Amino acid sequence: MPPAVIHAARPRPSTVPTWAAWCLVGLLVALLVVNTLLVPSLDGHPHVPEVITAAVYLAVSIALHEASHVAALRTFGRSIDKIGFRMNHWVFPAFSVRMNQSLLLSRQEQVCVHAAGLLVNLVVNAVTLVCNRWSWQSPALDFAASAVFVAAAWNVVPFLNSDGYRVLLSLTGTNATRELRANPFWLISLKIVGVLFVIAVVTHTVFTFTRSALA
């Protein structure tokens, strides 16, 4: 095996204390609460300018999210495998950064890497909502920020291979396996909830489109 590969795979002492990892998770929860308080109530259906603004803002948010994962991983001396697109459970589309080398980090460092994208999204979104409320007052931007908040909030929910799921695994030091029965009971429960959620969403979507087509 090449010396460079051996050196890259060598375990390193954690540069992040456990208390700092937990503080980061606490900050994530606090930012969720702040965003919840800042998100305005929206009335009526969105218009074309609002949809376009939301699409652009969402694209920028996704770019910032993935760039934050990359930056965090490189901060700890590791590199990504590739940036791509995947379908979670063959249903939910998602951009992703493959970070196999994150497995070589300590669990505290893994928390930082997996939480980085959400933290940046929620900070930027909170600043956007505050500036829009006190200065810009753009309904389109309100709608866009609300859409990004919903996406970020879903990404915190710890199932469907979300960032929240990976943060939870890192915090608990749990290595998830493909064989369902080999996982801890709480993780099996999360996986079952995730599958049930997928079934519910697909069923609801099919029912909605069928009803619209027959109306």
Between 96 and 5, residue with greater pLDDT: 96
Q: What is the DSSP string of 103-140?
A: GGS-HHHHHHHHHHHHHHHHHHHHHHHHHIIIII--HH
Domain residue ranges of the chain, discontinuous segments joined by +:
3-175
pLDDT-derived band at 49 (thresholds 50, 70, 90) equals confident
66 carries an active-site annotation = yes
Segment among 10-19, 183-192, 194-203 with least mean pLDDT: 194-203
How far is Cα 54 from Cα 142, in angstroms, rounded to an integer?
Answer: 9
How far is Cα 35 from Cα 128, in angstroms, rounded to an integer?
Answer: 10
Selected catalytic residue, list 50, 66, 109, 179: 66
How far is Cα 202 from Cα 51, in angstroms, rounded to an integer?
Answer: 23
Please report the pLDDT score of residue 1 as a whole number: 44
